[in-house]
Each structure stands twice: as C-alpha cells, then as structure tokens.
Amino acid sequence: MIILEKQPTEENPYVVNNYPYGFRLRTQIKYWVETTKRGQRFTSQTLNPKTDKWNKPKKTTYSQIILVGLNEEDHVTYTTLSLYSLEQAERFKEKYEKYFSDYQKDEIKNIIKMSEIYDKVEYSFRARKYKHKITGEITESVPFMEMNNYIEVDDNGNILDREKKDKEQTEINRKINQIAVKNASEETSINKAIETFNRVK
C-alpha cells in the first residue's frame, strides 16, 4: 500500500474518474477521511450519471486514525489504527508518522500513552458454574431447557450475585480507564485524552 502524500478531506477529496456504475455506466467517485469528535471514518461518494447529482456518502465505522492510499492495482484503500496494543501503536507511528495531520499527531500520543497502561492490565477468565437447586450438583454445562433448575454459584459453591459482580468489574474497569486517561494527559490535554478514551471504551 502506498500512502497518499496529501490525505483527502471532504473539502479536497481524492477523485477517481471512469468508475463503474451499475453494469454499463461510468462515473466519478470521490474519497476522503471524515474527522469528528468520535474519531475518523473512511468515506466514499459516487456521482449519479443519470441525474448528475452526488449520491449519499458511504462511511465506515469509526477508527482513531485512518490513512488513505493506493494498492498494487492503484485502487483506493486505507489503513486504520484503534486502541489495541502499545506495540501496534508504536509500529503504526514509526511507519506512517510523516503522513499524520495535526489531529492524528495528537491522537497517536493519546493512544500510545493510554496503551502503556492497558498493556499492563491482566485479565483472568473463569468458567461459570451452576448448582442444581435440588440435588446440589455443580456443573459448568447446563442444557438450555433445564436452566430453571440451576442457579449460578462461585468457585466455593456459594450463590453468586451476578449484578453485584458485574458492578464490581465495572468499577475496576473505570479505575483502569482513569489511570489511562491521567497517563495520557501528561503529554496531551486532558480533554483530548478523555475524548480518545470515550471513543474506544
């Protein structure tokens, strides 16, 4: 993929002529990256050759950073970065930093600083256990039609308060996110860091 030196915007899109439209017609299509408070979206829009009016734009889901380029066949494509891992964010920065807009330069700082925290977080998973209401048998697998005969329990066989457990996990996640945002704010504005987090939480 060859990144475009000048990244397309809605005001200055990348336009392709002679683009297929239906089975026989040809038209124009334009591409750009839309930037909002929620992140960036790759956008395309075709010109209706029958009416000479632009059709409704087609937009991807949001990513934190999107860069547009051309593939080996000179077709428009794009690459993205979201908040996944510190290693991935650093590789992306090293490879594409020279193409970044001012918005993307700020965004990569937020992503890297927040990823430094998330990379230190470890998650453990446990299989859910269920106890038969009459026999007391504990199992990890219950036939769907028999679910009413079982109740969820913890590893010690005690009845599990799922709502309470979910609230506890939500609070843990909230504290992790607060630390990540604080870490990002050391080099970027706290408001921008919070915006980044709100888009990916």
Domain residue extents for the chain: 1-81
Over the stretch 2-60, which tens digit does the pLDDT of each residue have? 999 999 999 999 999 999 998 899 999 999 999 998 899 999 999 999 999 999 999 99
The answer to whether the pTM exceeds 0.75 is no
Local confidence band at 164 (pLDDT 50, 70, 90 cut-offs): confident
DSSP state of 94: H
**pLDDT for the residue 163:** 81
Local confidence band at 184 (pLDDT 50, 70, 90 cut-offs): low
Cα 21 off chain centre by: 31
How far is it, in rounded angstroms, from Cα 53 to Cα 182?
Answer: 48
Is the pLDDT at 96 greater than 90, yes or no? Answer: yes
Angstrom distances, CA of residue 85 to CA of 37, 68, 97, 137 = 22, 22, 17, 42
Is the pLDDT at 161 greater than 90, yes or no? Answer: no
Mean pLDDT, residues 185-194: 52
Is the pLDDT at 190 greater than 60, yes or no? Answer: no
Amino acid at 132: H
More confident residue, 162 or 93: 93
DSSP state of 164: H
Give, rounded to a whole angstrom, the gap between the first and last alpha carbons of the chain: 30
Over the stretch 44-83, which tens digit does the pLDDT of each residue have? 999 999 999 999 999 999 999 999 999 999 999 999 988 7
